[in-house]
Amino acid sequence: MSAPLRLMAVHAHPDDESSKGAATMARYVREGVEVLVCTLTGGERGSVLNPKMDRPEVVANIAEIRRGEMDRAREILGVQQRFLGFIDSGLPESEEEELPDGCFALQPLEKAAEPLVSAVREFRPHVIITYDDDGGYPHPDHIMTNRVSIEAFEAAGDPDRYPGTGDPWQPLKLYYQMGFTKERFEALHEAMTERGMGSPYGDWIARWEDRPAKWPVTTRVPCAEYFEIRDRALLAHATQIDPDGWFFTCPRELQQKIWPTEDYHLARSLVDTDLPEDDLFAGIHADDPTPACH
C-alpha cells in the first residue's frame, strides 16, 4: 500500500475551516487523504453572530464554547484539528483602533510561524491551503495567517531554520482559498433571480470594485456532493452562523448545479502541473521524495 496523501488547512479562527474549503476537505478525507486543520487562534474576541445564541452566558464563555463548536465541526468533516495557541486579535471597527497587546496579529513573524513550522514538520503535508495576502477579507488575523503560512511553507524544509521544531519537511504546493469571488456570486445571483428567488448577493455585486481579480482561480475542485457535510459543519459553529442567514439563502441543490466546485489559486508549486487543475494533488504522488532541503 502506498502512503496516504496529506493536506493541511491553515485558518485563523474556529469556523473558518467550515466556511472556506470545507467540502474540499470532506471529499479528500473520504478518499483516504489525511487532513489536518491548524487553527491559529481560539476566536476569543469573536462576537456572537447568531442572534439565537446572543445570551449573556454565551458571551461570557465564548472561548470555551467555540472550542466545543470546533470539536463538533471536526467530527462532521472527519478531519484532524489542533489549536496553535495564539490569542484572537479581534476586528477593529476603524483604522485608528489599536489592536490589543499580545494578540496574534502583533506577534513577530518568526514567533507566530514557529508552531506552524513544527506542525508542518510533524504532519508532513504535501499540500497546504490558506488565505491570500488580503486574508480573504482584511481581518488582521487572516492577513497574519497568510504571512505565517508562506513562512512555514518556505522554511519547514530548511534544516537551518527553526531549530528544535522537528526534522525538515518540504510541502509541495501552497494554495489560496478563493471561495468569495465576484464570478461565483454573479452566477448564483443570476440563477436565483431567474427562478424568482430573492438573492442576497445583488448589493455585494453592485459594490464590487470593477477590476481584475488579484489572484486568478487556477484550480476548481469538484465537491458538490459534500456541500451537505460543509453545511452541517458550518451549523456546528452555532455562535457564528445564523441558520437563517445569508450562507443558506441559496438552496443547496441550486449551488450544486450552478457552482459545484470550491476554488483555489496555486500560489507556490515545487512540482510540474498543468493549469487549470481540478485536484489539489495534481502532479503529486505520496511516495515521491520531497525536494532536497536547501
Alpha-carbon distance 14 to 99, whole Å? 20
263 is in an annotated binding site: no
Alpha-carbon distance 229 to 94, whole Å? 36
Q: Which residue, 282, 236, 230, 280, is CA-closest to 259? A: 230
Cell of 192: 436565483
Query: Residue 207's CB: how many other CB atoms inside 10 A?
Result: 7
11 is in an annotated binding site: no
Cell of 227: 456541500
- Hey, CA dihedral for 220, 226, 232, 237, is it positive or negative? negative
142 is in an annotated binding site: yes
Q: Given the C-alpha cell 481579480, which residue does it identify?
A: 213
Cell of 19: 466556511
Helix/strand number for the chain, H first, E second: 10, 7
Alpha-carbon distance 11 to 39, whole Å? 5
Binding site for Zn(2+), by residue number, is: 13, 16, 142
Binding site, by residue number, is: 13, 16, 142
